[in-house]
Amino acid sequence: MGSLEIGSRLDACLTAAVAADPGLADVAKVIAACASAAIEVSTVIGRGALAGDLAAQGEQNSDGDVQKFLDVFAHERFTEALRGAPVSEVASEEAEGVMLLNPGAPLAVAIDPLDGSSNIGVNMAVGSIFGIRPTASTPENPLGSFTGPGTLQRAAGFVTYGPATSLVLTLGDGTQTYTLDRAEGVFRLTHPRMEVVASAKEYAINASNARHWDTPVKAYIEDCLRGAEGPLDKDFNMRWLGSLVSDAQRVLLRGGVFLYPGDNRKGYAQGRLRLLYEAAPIAFLMEQAGAGAIDGERRILDICASAIHERVPLIFGSADEVACVAKYYGGRNSAAGRSPLFGQRGLMRS
């Protein structure tokens, strides 16, 4: 797909991918369905308050969070689109259990229809995330399609509904970005092959949770804050948007590292992000762009889920930065957290 010209329509790129590998035919149909649903969601978001109260509260979702109107709308639009594609079942953040669509179809989809719900109503970017897997469920193992490692994903993508609506996509051969041409209602290729720089000076983390972090995270952030005078030998900027897709897109374009670790708060030992429909698709996209994605110690794509809403700590971004964070986890620096800042010593300090 990377050899196609900038400006090529998504459907033309998918046709070319299938011509090169006929085994992608069903995957291409699922991606086309997701793109169609994303355009509908983008249209509603683009109207803002003119479309009604998009942040209006409704029922609770699988996490116990109160669903907003836009959560439900996105879930319904994606489910409807996927029902017309070769998809046997769907694991959605907005549904308690696996949704059966077309029994016997070859593919299954894990999806967060509306990422960044806290940004609804304040005109900040939100998104959708999906991972496409082979159907593997059986009567004896009804979750079989979703309990394998992330390496089984056939494709993954996310949509960012921002000033521009963009679709970031991988079919396992690099990561591309398509931008919605609003005049024609189609996605067009704008970044044929995303490559995340190996080293960068930005990190993204919710610093308000600093007192709850475990020692490796405290030590790493302490050393980032010490800048060029510290052991990491460079000054950092911090970014945090509260929208996973927005932070991921920034990393793809500018590099850096994103951290949503587990912490000591009740219910946060494994963070808050979901393995199947957030971490695994993002990890696939990152690795295909030359970046890394770990839970601190393990490669995200090697982790198997035991439940469809299972959580996992997530750290992704520039390869050198992710490797650096992994060293802090490997060292488990016991001195971190003793000073009024975070710790007396960072892991890299002699």
- Alpha-carbon distance of 67 to 77, in angstroms, equals 15
Asked whether residue 274 is assigned to any structural domain, the reply reads yes
Tell whether 80 and 157 lie within a shared domain.
Answer: yes
Examine the domain organization and report whether 27 and 167 are in the same domain.
yes
Residue 350 lies in a domain: no
The structural domain count of the chain equals: 2
Q: Which residues in 182-333 belong to E strands, given as ranges?
A: 186-191, 202-204, 237-238, 257-260, 292-294, 314-317
Determine, yes or no, domain membership for 322.
Answer: yes
Looking at the whole model, is its pTM more than 0.85? yes
For residue 257, the enclosing domain spans: 202-331
Question: 159 and 232: one domain?
Answer: no
Helix, strand, or coil (residue 158): strand
Q: Is the same domain home to 241 and 100?
A: no
349 is a domain residue: no
Residue 303's CATH number: 3.40.190.80
pLDDT per residue as tens, the chain (350 positions): 546 789 999 999 999 999 999 999 999 999 999 999 999 999 999 887 777 766 676 555 555 555 788 999 999 999 999 999 999 999 999 999 999 999 999 999 999 999 987 777 777 889 999 999 999 999 999 999 999 999 999 999 999 999 999 999 999 999 999 999 999 999 999 999 999 999 999 999 999 999 999 999 999 999 999 999 999 999 999 999 889 999 999 999 999 999 999 999 999 999 999 999 999 999 999 999 999 999 999 999 999 999 999 999 999 999 999 999 999 999 764 444 334 444 444 455 44
